[in-house]
Chains A and B, each alone.
Chain A
Amino acid sequence: MKITLDWLREHLDGDYSVADVVATLNRIGHEVEGVENPAEKLAGFRVAKVLTAAKHPQADKLQVLTVDSGDGEPLTVVCGAPNARAGLVGVLGLPGAVVPANGMELRVAAVRGVESNGMMCSTRELELGDDHDGIIELPEDAPVGTPFADYAGAGDPVIDISITPNRQDCMGVRGIARDLAAAGLGTLKPLDVPSIPGEGAPATDIATLDPEACPAFFGRTIAGVTNGTAPEWMRRRLEAVGQRSISALVDISNYVMFDLGRPSHIYDRAKLSGALVARRAEADETVTALNGKDYRLTDTMTVIADAREVHDIAGIMGGEHSGCSEATTDVLIEIAYFTPERIALTGQALGLTSDARSRFERGVDPAFLDDATAIVTGHILAICGGTPSAVTRAGTPPAEVKTVDYDPALSATLGGIAIPAERQKAILTALGFGVIEQAGHWQVAVPSWRRDIDGAPDLVEEVTRITGFDAIESVPLPRADGVARPTATAEQMLERRVRRAVAAAGFHEAVTWSFISEREAAPFGGGAWSLANPISEDLKVMRPSLLPGLLAAAQRNQDRGATSIRLFEIGRRYTGEAEHPTLGVLMAGDKVARGWQAGKAAPFDAFDAKAAALALLDAAGAPADRLQVMEAIAEPGIWHPGQSATLRLGPKAVLAEYGALHPALTKHFDVDGPVMAVQIFLDAIPAKRASGPARAAYAPPALQSVRRDFAFLAPEGLAAADLVRAIRGADKAAIVDARLFDRFAGQGVPEGQVSLAVEIELQPQEKSFTDAELKAVADKVVAAAAKLGAMLRG
């Protein structure tokens, strides 16, 4: 919402500057977004009179002028304009002034040997017009020495204010003036409402057939108007606030809207046929609005229509057909009250915004229909002439007066500022509230234009904002005894630990979009959630996996020349049922750069992914010894079918997936492979049972452990982990660890078999193992392996 200082003075008496207005508006809750002051552009330019003009001694086309700029001593000015002559009153730019048209700063300078102390200006140089044939010629009586901005009346600063959606009453200059007056900046002038009874019934009948959406429709006709251009003061104000001047009638309607926050509509009666009524639209009825666009309506919308067609999408935008033109002579003024919720729904459904909609949907003053009718009529009669009819009042606007029970102590107990009751009363009264004191509690009558006031806290806001929030003193929150208690939940601690662990392992944390493109989601089976109104097709589907975002980031990094990529992200995957906190890890390019020791660069392999998965699950507190490597679960095409797996605590408890990504997938994302990845499903990790800080009792065994090696020939298909687990379980009392340390196939190993070497660790307890005991354990190991088809190598 824009206002001008001059316009504000129309409603607000007092001695105040633009700066005062801006500071006060910001203080009381109307944020000023900008101030444009046309006078600043013209600073340093004055009304001045040419006293003498003589030919320049060195140049044919130049003259040397003496100019009276109002400071007494005449100035010498060199000028090339053909119309420069003695007696001309024009505009002089003094040294230091900046020419608006070209940004040049004027200086005292010699022009062909004659010192010039300024410049006589053309309209183009001052950006006031296109004329550059000569310098500006002002009337002879123009006051010499006056700043030109003042003389030209160009000095009206425009203030752009962000009006919060609750304050419809401030969507007009008068409402802002009222708030400023309440804040002590000037005095609100009484509103001048003409008394125009009019004669006879309106020439067009009006009615409301949809009292729910349009409870009141006031109107009158005026015959014999002339729709020329609006007076200059009105056009200047409208243009200053960004409203193009169209014709006198349209400008009057707009002016009253910006002045008083009151939209109206003026119909050309010549284009109406029969009575004009507010009614529900019929389904699929269409109207061409003033913006030139066609709108298809539904039967939940309200229109203003005559017997033949729709002329207005009620409260939102008029129809193109019935607008006023130069030929208009008879008009109908519509001043209606529309139910805000209905306007909002219609506006949302049509995607149509307008100045009228933004006011009606916030709720215009329901007690301001008669006065608005009179004011609009008054402007029309003054500017366009004509003979008004009496006013028809179809329906009645909601007129209920809201009363709020208010305890003035609340300004301190809720608002944090102790404001004396008398001062609170004065503020509320200045804002138009009626205050009735009743034994400490007040009954506060809410003015009809303050639809936003809902209860006592709103009144607290009124008295505190007008007082100024600077008066709020900081008060510490009560503090609990003792040191601060831990607040993080188990899930939060898990996330923090894992994040730091994976960063410590050399990975960089990325934050990528939660929404991805359909193309990116497709290999993952698509997403369960797709936006109805995405900002672009690239950001549309809620990610079903963290891998697409990491792959896209990897691709961007490769494009920038990165040779080794270690990225991770902790964020949510979105499935149909829930949002799952997940850790995604990605490795691409060189694991080890080429070097003088290792030689060639080494790529990542699937076991790097496994190592990361296990280390991170361990950091997450997952029971590492119970984890089982099982087959991948994801859609085919994500993982390399032979180099990927899951880590589970049972068939259904999948904690992580890891391995090499499918080459087709990396190609889909344009990433140079091979690429290794891990996803850890953080919400699948079982919470550790809280057991207090004490650890289980433990004393290191006194006796040294014993190691024995075994080599087996096993069928190629036997999973190494199965063999190790079988060996580990062969004698649970004695064997504390089993570890595979060699795998070999090829020369010396029969076709279809593989040599697997396992080291076991035996821990004696009370006394050392005897040879017989060791042999018994070895026999058990060999027997356990044999059950899986693994034979001890001879």
Chain B
Amino acid sequence: MSETEALKAKLLGEIETASDLDALEALRVAALGKAGSVTGLLKTLGGMTPEERQAEGPKIHSLREAVTAAIGARKAALEGAALDAKLAGERLDMTLPAAAAPRGSVHPVSQVMDELAEIFADMGFAVATGPEIEDDWRNFTALNIPETHPARAMHDTFYFPDTDAEGRAMLLRTHTSPVQIRTMMTQQPPIRIIAPGRVYRSDSDATHTPMFHQVEGLVIDRGIHMGHLKWTLETFLKAFFERDDIVLRLRPSYFPFTEPSAEVDVGYAHEKGRRIVGGNGDDDGHAWMELLGSGMVNRRVIANCGLDPDEWQGFAFGIGIDRLAMLKYGMDDLRAFFDGDLRWLAHYGFGALSVPTLSGGISA
């Protein structure tokens, strides 16, 4: 064995057994430092004859490379072991609780309003709004409910002592129908709107609260008739309840602002103590429930808004939004809607990202 080979074997053995990074560094200095053993061999190359250099050069260089590589490898191994040891000391109980990000929610009434907007947008209906503090002309008179009309008494109206500049009595709107008036007075037909919002009636029991939410629908166009009304309601309710088996029953009724007028019942079944909308109300295990009022807009109402009733006709309907929410999502107490109970909101509310869309589903 040549001197070079002997040195190589010695150095590689020492490197392999170096116990820590300091020892390894000492070995590196002893071999590759300025006064190191390998460095010393390299220096001898200068004093050799070309022939000697040709023979010894590669061996010495190979020695240097082998030692450098061995030191690098040993260093990586020692560093890895040191990191492993450090990390082992950093072990945590990963079952410990993490700080919870607070979860918020959207109220079912808002969610259902978004659902309505989405469904009706597809049918070409825009969303209209109006004030809740209304005058009695828009809430009643323009809707063909004159002062002496018995229907006024049926509305359990909240009044203010105030009158507006034109001497009209101010009140809390009893329905969203004044938005019909506001829309027809400011827009030229064809009109397709829904108008959701708060309405007020002086009524309070298990199923009535003095404030609740309603959505009004209004279509004014040429040639619109009761068949369009029925289709619109069917199409809407099928989309809203996400069922194809929605069956409606229209019953003649009376509202001063529509003629003809219809109450609309929807078939439902009792399942596990809940009312599940769907099916024909006349079938076994099914019944009808009154859902909404509707009809063809009264000619007088159209004329009151400055439109020609011989040219324009259409339909209107009104539905309770809270009621729709209860039927769809299964709440049974209307009063809880307005209590702000965090437990109820967390249970019945909707995630911020649950935006109803037609592509993703209305019940997001």
**A and B bind:** yes
Tell me whether A460 and B260 are in contact in the complex, defined as CB-CB below 8 angstroms, given that A164-B254, A511-B107, A535-B204 are known contacts.
yes
Residue pair B150, A344 in contact (C-beta under 8 Å): yes
- Of B110, B124, B300, B343, the residue contacting A479 (CB under 8 A) is B124
- Of A165, A417, A496, the residue contacting B149 (CB under 8 A) is A165
- B126 at interface, CB cutoff 8 A: yes
What residues on B are CB-neighbors of A794 within 8 Å?
A: none
Q: How large is the interface on A (under 10, 10 to 19, 20 to 34, 35 or more residues)?
A: 35 or more
- B286 at interface, CB cutoff 8 A: no
- A16 at interface, CB cutoff 8 A: no
Tell me whether A503 and B226 are in contact in the complex, defined as CB-CB below 8 angstroms, given that A515-B211, A565-B342 are known contacts.
no
Q: How far is the CA of A458 from the CA of B261 in the complex (A)?
A: 10
Tell me whether A511 and B260 are in contact in the complex, defined as CB-CB below 8 angstroms, given that A358-B150, A529-B133 are known contacts.
no
Q: How far is the CA of A531 from the CA of B157 in the complex (A)?
A: 10
Residue with the greatest number of chain A CB neighbours at <10 A, chosen from B123, B227, B232: B227
* Min distance, Cβ A429 to any Cβ of chain B, angstroms: 19
Residue pair A475, B225 in contact (C-beta under 8 Å): yes
Stretch at the interface among A47-55, A292-300, A555-563: A555-563
Residue pair B252, A469 in contact (C-beta under 8 Å): yes
Tell me whether A415 and B226 are in contact in the complex, defined as CB-CB below 8 angstroms, given that A457-B298, A502-B104, A530-B161 are known contacts.
yes
- Binary interface profile of A, 471-493, with partner B (CB < 8 Å = 1, else 0)? 01111110110001111110110
Q: How far is the CA of A75 from the CA of B19 in the complex (A)?
A: 112
Residue pair A532, B352 in contact (C-beta under 8 Å): no
Q: How far is the CA of A455 from the CA of B303 in the complex (A)?
A: 13
Residue pair A509, B198 in contact (C-beta under 8 Å): no
- Binary interface profile of A, 324-367, with partner B (CB < 8 Å = 1, else 0)? 00000000000000001100110010000000001001100000
- B1 at interface, CB cutoff 8 A: no
Tell me whether A556 and B339 are in contact in the complex, defined as CB-CB below 8 angstroms, given that A464-B252, A535-B204 are known contacts.
yes
What residues on A are CB-neighbors of B260 within 8 Å?
A: 414-415, 457, 460-461, 464-465
Residue pair B104, A514 in contact (C-beta under 8 Å): no
- B102 at interface, CB cutoff 8 A: yes
What residues on A are CB-neighbors of B122 within 8 Å?
A: 484
- A566 at interface, CB cutoff 8 A: yes
- B7 at interface, CB cutoff 8 A: no
Residue pair A472, B253 in contact (C-beta under 8 Å): no
- A231 at interface, CB cutoff 8 A: no
* Min distance, Cβ B127 to any Cβ of chain A, angstroms: 6
Q: How far is the CA of A780 from the CA of B343 in the complex (A)?
A: 56
- Binary interface profile of B, 300-329, with partner A (CB < 8 Å = 1, else 0)? 100000000000010000000000000000
Stretch at the interface among A594-602, A721-729, A749-757: A594-602
Q: How far is the CA of A187 from the CA of B348 in the complex (A)?
A: 55
- Binary interface profile of B, 138-166, with partner A (CB < 8 Å = 1, else 0)? 00000000111111011000111110000
- A592 at interface, CB cutoff 8 A: yes
What residues on A are CB-neighbors of B204 within 8 Å?
A: 535
What residues on B are CB-neighbors of A510 within 8 Å?
A: 107, 340, 345
- Binary interface profile of A, 510-532, with partner B (CB < 8 Å = 1, else 0)? 11111100000000000001111
* Min distance, Cβ B280 to any Cβ of chain A, angstroms: 12
Q: How far is the CA of A29 from the CA of B99 in the complex (A)?
A: 61
Residue pair B223, A413 in contact (C-beta under 8 Å): yes
Residue pair B230, A472 in contact (C-beta under 8 Å): yes
Residue with the greatest number of chain A CB neighbours at <10 A, chosen from B96, B150, B224: B150
What residues on B are CB-neighbors of A455 within 8 Å?
A: 259, 299
Stretch at the interface among A81-89, A95-103, A567-575, A642-650: A567-575
* Min distance, Cβ A24 to any Cβ of chain B, angstroms: 12
Residue pair B234, A504 in contact (C-beta under 8 Å): no
- B58 at interface, CB cutoff 8 A: no
* Min distance, Cβ B60 to any Cβ of chain A, angstroms: 46
Residue pair A484, B121 in contact (C-beta under 8 Å): yes
- Binary interface profile of B, 226-238, with partner A (CB < 8 Å = 1, else 0)? 1111111011000
* Min distance, Cβ B346 to any Cβ of chain A, angstroms: 7
Residue pair B253, A29 in contact (C-beta under 8 Å): yes
- A3 at interface, CB cutoff 8 A: no
- A631 at interface, CB cutoff 8 A: no
Residue pair B355, A165 in contact (C-beta under 8 Å): no
Residue pair A557, B342 in contact (C-beta under 8 Å): yes
What residues on B are CB-neighbors of A504 within 8 Å?
A: 104, 352-353
Residue pair B251, A27 in contact (C-beta under 8 Å): yes
Tell me whether A488 and B259 are in contact in the complex, defined as CB-CB below 8 angstroms, given that A469-B250, A499-B106 are known contacts.
no
- B117 at interface, CB cutoff 8 A: yes
What residues on B are CB-neighbors of A164 within 8 Å?
A: 253-254
- A416 at interface, CB cutoff 8 A: yes
Residue pair A475, B148 in contact (C-beta under 8 Å): no
- Of A470, A511, A533, A568, the residue contacting B338 (CB under 8 A) is A511
Residue pair B342, A572 in contact (C-beta under 8 Å): no
Of chain A, the residue at the smallest CB distance from B249 is A470
What residues on A are CB-neighbors of B223 within 8 Å?
A: 413
What residues on B are CB-neighbors of A470 within 8 Å?
A: 249-250
- B54 at interface, CB cutoff 8 A: no
* Min distance, Cβ B62 to any Cβ of chain A, angstroms: 45
- A433 at interface, CB cutoff 8 A: no
- Which residues A596-645 have CB closer than 8 A to chain B? 596-598
- Which residues B320-364 have CB closer than 8 A to chain A? 337-343, 345-346, 349, 351-353, 355
Of chain A, the residue at the smallest CB distance from B204 is A535
- A553 at interface, CB cutoff 8 A: yes
- Of A31, A509, A532, the residue contacting B349 (CB under 8 A) is A509
Tell me whether A166 and B211 are in contact in the complex, defined as CB-CB below 8 angstroms, given that A503-B352, A535-B204 are known contacts.
no
- A505 at interface, CB cutoff 8 A: yes
What residues on A are CB-neighbors of B123 within 8 Å?
A: 477, 479, 484
Residue pair B225, A550 in contact (C-beta under 8 Å): no
- Of A535, A566, A572, the residue contacting B202 (CB under 8 A) is A535
Residue pair A532, B230 in contact (C-beta under 8 Å): no
- A501 at interface, CB cutoff 8 A: yes
Q: How far is the CA of A350 from the CA of B313 in the complex (A)?
A: 40
Tell me whether A503 and B342 are in contact in the complex, defined as CB-CB below 8 angstroms, given that A164-B254, A480-B124, A496-B114 are known contacts.
no
* Min distance, Cβ A404 to any Cβ of chain B, angstroms: 12
What residues on A are CB-neighbors of B268 within 8 Å?
A: none
* Min distance, Cβ B314 to any Cβ of chain A, angstroms: 10
- Of A165, A500, A512, the residue contacting B150 (CB under 8 A) is A165
* Min distance, Cβ B228 to any Cβ of chain A, angstroms: 5
- A537 at interface, CB cutoff 8 A: no
Residue pair B160, A529 in contact (C-beta under 8 Å): yes
Q: How far is the CA of A361 from the CA of B172 in the complex (A)?
A: 25
- Of B117, B150, B349, the residue contacting A361 (CB under 8 A) is B150
Query: B residues touching A (Cβ–Cβ < 8 Å)?
Result: 96-97, 99, 101-107, 109-110, 114, 117, 120-127, 129, 131-133, 146-151, 153-154, 158-162, 170, 172, 192, 198, 200, 202-204, 210-211, 219, 223-232, 234-235, 249-254, 256, 259-263, 296, 298-300, 313, 337-343, 345-346, 349, 351-353, 355
**What would 30 A/B residue contacts be, using CB atoms closer than 8 Å?**
A164-B254, A165-B150, A165-B151, A166-B254, A344-B150, A345-B147, A413-B223, A416-B230, A417-B226, A454-B300, A455-B259, A457-B296, A457-B299, A461-B259, A470-B249, A472-B227, A473-B230, A475-B227, A477-B192, A486-B121, A492-B117, A500-B106, A507-B102, A510-B107, A512-B340, A530-B161, A531-B158, A564-B102, A566-B104, A570-B110
Query: A residues touching B (Cβ–Cβ < 8 Å)?
Result: 26-29, 31, 164-167, 340-341, 344-345, 348, 358, 361-362, 412-417, 454-455, 457-458, 460-461, 464-465, 469-470, 472-477, 479-480, 484-489, 491-492, 496, 499-515, 529-535, 539, 542, 549-550, 552-554, 556-557, 560, 562, 564-568, 570-572, 574, 578-579, 592, 595-598
